[in-house]
Amino acid sequence: MLEGYRGKALELLEKIGAEVGDVVEIVKNGLTVRGLLMPSYSKDDSILVVKLDNGYNAGFSIENATLRLISKGKSRIHPVTSEEKRRSEVKIISTGGTIASRVEYETGAVRPALSTEEILMFAPEIKEIAEVSAEILFSILSENMRPEYWIKIIQSVVSAFKEGNSGIVIAHGTDTMSFTASALAFALKKLPGPVVMVGSQRSSDRPSSDSTINLISSILLAKHGEFAEVAVAMHGESSDSHVLAHRGVKVRKMHTSRRDAFQSINDIPLAKVFWREKRIKMLRTDFIKRSDEVEASPKFEEKVFLLKFYPGLRPEIVDYLVSSGVRGIIVEGTGLGHTSDQFVDVFRRAEKEGVFVGMTSQCLFGRVNMNVYTTGRLLQQAGVTPLEDMLPEVALVKLMWVLAHETDLAEVRRLMQSNLVGEINLRHTIDLFPRWKYE
């Protein structure tokens, strides 16, 4: 195999019968270099990537060079061990993302690395916490997640609980983890235990990865957590001190790269995990308790839209959305929940067409209140539904789920305004807003 090679280099390598993993020799300008041919990750198609004896990779252009195959390499591709069914206390369902994969440089492919064996090799401490089993459901990058995959995850969770697990861990890419968390939260109507989503911000192929600590913590939560909710478990701060379990419908990725990117918004997390002491500290008591059954209704309406308002946004976009068949729109409005008053007419027309329009705020922190200013009142009169302190993405996923179960607009509106799984917090105490620290 000659992963990553194209054009001139590929041609030459094929000619001499070299493959990735073989030892090759390049002679150029009097310099002789011998090394292992590596997959190319170069933009330039004349470059050969060679691993030298000292472990360094370096790129050599085939221009003015002679290339020889010295010896064929052994195939280093590790077969994925098939997973036998085994009894476990915690099931780890892996869906992809940094935490669940490692780059296989021999093939250049990203492959799931979370077979049960690999998990235990990766973090032997887990044996002391729980019997675990793993299922590699799929291996997709977080940004390629789709509602149809949510359904598969939900079905997997249901069968894992039916197999007798006391909690489920879902390894997931972080970019869209909070969308999946919401989808699971709304669709899993009854749960016998925690469903803990976990990811990592530093890939598991580096010594400083947060994946082990996050994974250990999520397994602790899945086994011992008292709550039967969908939670997201990630680093609580940049230090490796503790992990926070956030309520899945109240959490958001607030930083592109930090370990503590996930923050509860308008809410406090469910629990804090001191992974070194293997101790869970519940931070609140109003969580949903474990029940005896598992029940799910995994259906989602995909004809929805998330519309972010900005000065200059033209109202015709709403007419277009309605005519394209959209059944519901979540508006990410300004401040307390506004768009310009030019939108009053188009929203009214949307409502007449049976399209649900719900209002959230691009402030993220705080609640919408459409009674304070005239525009808010006008928008309400036009049929726009204020959605309290729901995060825009959570409102969108909730709408997908509600619309898949309800056709009556009044009922849709009632459900969207009801607190189903903790997505609405009617009491905002003074401590719920972060203060950015600087001197």
In the complex with another protein, which residue's Cβ is closer, 52 or 70? Answer: 52
Measured between alpha carbons, how far is residue 408 from residues 55, 190, 235, 385 in Å? 65, 24, 42, 15
Q: Which two tokens stand for residue 96?
A: 């992809």
Q: Which member of 91, 223, 253, 398 is catalytic?
A: 253
In the complex with another protein, which residue's Cβ is closer, 20 or 322? Answer: 20
CB of 76 to another protein, least distance (A): 6
The SS3 of residue 356 is strand
In the complex with another protein, which residue's Cβ is closer, 55 or 312? Answer: 55
Nearest residue to 232 (alpha-carbon basis) of 298, 293, 180: 180
Give the binding site for another protein (CB under 8 A).
28-31, 33, 38, 41-44, 47, 49, 51-61, 76, 78, 102-106, 202, 204-209, 212-213, 238-241, 256-259, 439
Q: What angle is formed at CA 425 by the lines to CA 419 and CA 429, rounded to 5 degrees?
A: 165
Residue pair 320/305 in contact by the 8 Å Cβ criterion: no
CB of 281 to another protein, least distance (A): 18
Can 174 be counted among the known catalytic residues?
A: yes
In the complex with another protein, which residue's Cβ is closer, 75 or 297? Answer: 75
Measured between alpha carbons, how far is residue 270 from residues 146, 231, 308, 370, 395 in Å? 27, 8, 30, 30, 20
How far apart CA 158 and CA 386 sit, in angstroms, is 33
Measured between alpha carbons, how far is residue 336 from residues 182, 381, 432 in Å? 23, 16, 17
In the complex with another protein, which residue's Cβ is closer, 242 or 247? Answer: 242
In the complex with another protein, which residue's Cβ is closer, 174 or 204? Answer: 204
Q: Which member of 91, 95, 98, 339 is catalytic?
A: 98
In the complex with another protein, which residue's Cβ is closer, 11 or 345? Answer: 11
CB of 236 to another protein, least distance (A): 12
Measured between alpha carbons, how far is residue 34 from residues 71, 243, 270, 284 in Å? 11, 46, 56, 61
Can 116 be counted among the known catalytic residues?
A: no
Can 253 be counted among the known catalytic residues?
A: yes
Residues 6 or more apart from 57 whose CB is under 8 A from it?
38, 49, 50, 51
Q: Which member of 95, 116, 174, 339 is catalytic?
A: 174
CB of 42 to another protein, least distance (A): 5
Can 319 be counted among the known catalytic residues?
A: no
Measured between alpha carbons, how far is residue 381 from residues 347, 358, 420 in Å? 10, 13, 25
Nearest residue to 172 (alpha-carbon basis) of 133, 131, 230, 116: 230
Q: Which two tokens stand for residue 67?
A: 């290339």
Q: Which two tokens stand for residue 26?
A: 């390049």
Catalytic (active-site) positions:
98, 174-175, 253
